[in-house]
Chain A
Amino acid sequence: MAEFKADFLLNMNSVLPKLAHLKQLFFIVLVLLFSMKVSAHEPTEPDSLELVNAKVATEHKAADHTKHEDKVNIQEVAFDHVLDAHSWHLWGDHEHPVSFPLPVILKTDKGLVFFSSGEFHHDTHGKVVVEKNGERFVNYKEDIYYASESENAEGEFVEFAVNEKGKNVVTNKAPLDFSITKNAAQLIFSAIILILLFTSMASAYKKTGVTSAPKGKQSFLEPFVVFVRDEIAKSNIGPKYEKYVPYLLTVFFLILINNVFGLIPISANVTGNIAFTFVLSVITLIVTNVSANKAYWGHIFLPPAPKALYPILIPIEIVGIFTKPFALMIRLFANMTAGHIIVISLVGLIFVFQTLWVSPVAVAFALFIDILEVLVAVLQAYIFTLLTALFIGSAMVEHHHEDSHEEAGAH
């Protein structure tokens, strides 16, 4: 396996000048692709009389809406920015959005269904029905359901019921949703960037060797890599740390790049999505428990305590296996989401008060919180990696800390 890797890297050396051109070409194509597909939504001209009547009716409703919407709903704007979506909305309000559609992939009982989310025509209130293969789908608040047969009073093709907590929930059935949503597309993009960065760095090391000084992006990334390897992995995991350095590096750079992307306004909020952090913490859980040695399981199922306490201690220890990754998940998710909501709310204050005089204060506060958020982005990546290393290290600790107990007793 090592020879295969070395051969691959040596061959990559001969291909390196072409690789640089290829990378430039790839970025140009990516930019072109995104710019071509950006579409602005414009109202279409109706041509028959009943359509004209319908348009007048909707215009009246729209006018009522705009009067109603003088009171801007900041909560809705904030959650729109922070949550996932089936199309990538860049800028613009609800009447004239600038966005591009993403593919919708659904698994129904009849098989897989593919279509572009542009067929929903920017509707997230369940009013537009897309029909494929005889099945009708509707998009309500960015969840895709099977559309009801007929629409309700507000033109929506979904049915509601009040659940036991008193909240309105949708009762339509939903297909399994495997779409490339905004977060999925952003993850693929970050992954491509990370792969390009690090494979080029590795091939540069192969070319110039480890003894000469690094240059270019190597010199920017190398301190981070060495930091993760020495300060985080070696000091927390102990002697067998090299096996875990790839995973720790992956976690650190993935969280870091997605945190930083989440701070850019047009971009998607991946680390603030609890499913993403859930997956990372599940992988941490698996890595910790698979690499655990007998002393670790011994401490959980036979803790060093009087036997009378076992009925209390053993459940607590078992729950403790799960709460540690759970805390990792919640910490990353809540830090990122809360930060974004604060910035959006501060800028939204300008729209709530609707005067220009609020803007110096609001923008100054928002700038301060944004700088703090950059610190939090790096810090949360570091904390996640550090705690993962700590958990792995504590699962692999050798049994001789019993001796240190005795030494402490002898003092």
Chain B
Amino acid sequence: MTGSIAAIGAGLAAIGAGIGIGQIGGHAMDAIARQPEAHGKIQTTMLIAAALVEGAALFGIVVALL
């Protein structure tokens, strides 16, 4: 087995980001389906929440790189 445990940590952080942003996207799509006229605000809020979740995942990746 080559590689280091840091790589496993980075992979787990990426899984966390994937799950988080996937859930945000899914709920955003439900919300748009319920109220199509609010799709602008929902899309903006979704992007903001996605950037915040990705920030948290990148914490893990930075620690893995160190």
Contacts and interface: CB of A to CB of B under 8 A. Distances in A.
Interface of A: 327, 330-331, 333-335, 338, 379-380, 383, 386
A194 B52 CA distance: 28
A379 B61 contact: no
Contact of B58 (A334, A379, A386): A334
Given A379-B47, A383-B48, A386-B48, A327 B62 contact: no
Given A330-B55, A330-B62, A335-B55, 17 more contacts: A330-B58, A330-B59, A331-B51, A331-B52, A331-B55, A331-B58, A333-B62, A334-B58, A334-B59, A334-B61, A335-B54, A335-B58, A338-B58, A380-B51, A383-B48, A383-B51, A386-B48
Report whether over half of chain A's contact residues are helix, strand or loop; otherwise say mixed.
helix
Nearest to A326: B59
A383 B47 CA distance: 9
A96 B20 CA distance: 46
Contacts of B47: 379
Interface residues of B, number: 10
B61 A338 contact: yes
Contacts of A338: 58, 61
A56 to B, nearest CB: 38
Nearest to B44: A231
Interface string B1-37: 0000000000000000000000000000000000000
A115 B39 CA distance: 58
B50 to A, nearest CB: 8
A334 B55 contact: yes
A335 B57 CA distance: 10
Nearest to A380: B51
19 contacts: A327-B55, A327-B59, A330-B58, A330-B59, A330-B62, A331-B52, A331-B54, A331-B55, A333-B62, A334-B58, A334-B59, A334-B61, A334-B62, A335-B54, A335-B55, A335-B58, A380-B51, A383-B52, A386-B48
A330 B56 CA distance: 9
Contacts of A334: 55, 58-59, 61-62
A380 B48 CA distance: 9
Q: Which 4 A-B pairs have the closest CB atoms?
A: A334-B58, A331-B55, A383-B51, A334-B62
Contacts of B52: 331, 383
Nearest to B62: A334
Contacts of B48: 383, 386
Nearest to A383: B51
Contacts of A333: 62
A380 B50 CA distance: 11
A331 to B, nearest CB: 3
B10 to A, nearest CB: 10
A40 B21 CA distance: 47
Nearest to B57: A334
B2 to A, nearest CB: 14
Contacts of B59: 327, 330, 334
Nearest to B50: A379
A379 B53 CA distance: 13
Contacts of B62: 330, 333-334
A338 B61 CA distance: 8
Contacts of A327: 55, 59
A338 B52 CA distance: 15
Nearest to A341: B65
Contacts of A335: 54-55, 58
A49 B4 CA distance: 49
A42 B24 CA distance: 55
Contacts of B61: 334, 338
A386 B61 CA distance: 24
B59 to A, nearest CB: 6
A73 to B, nearest CB: 16
Nearest to A379: B51
Contacts of A330: 55, 58-59, 62
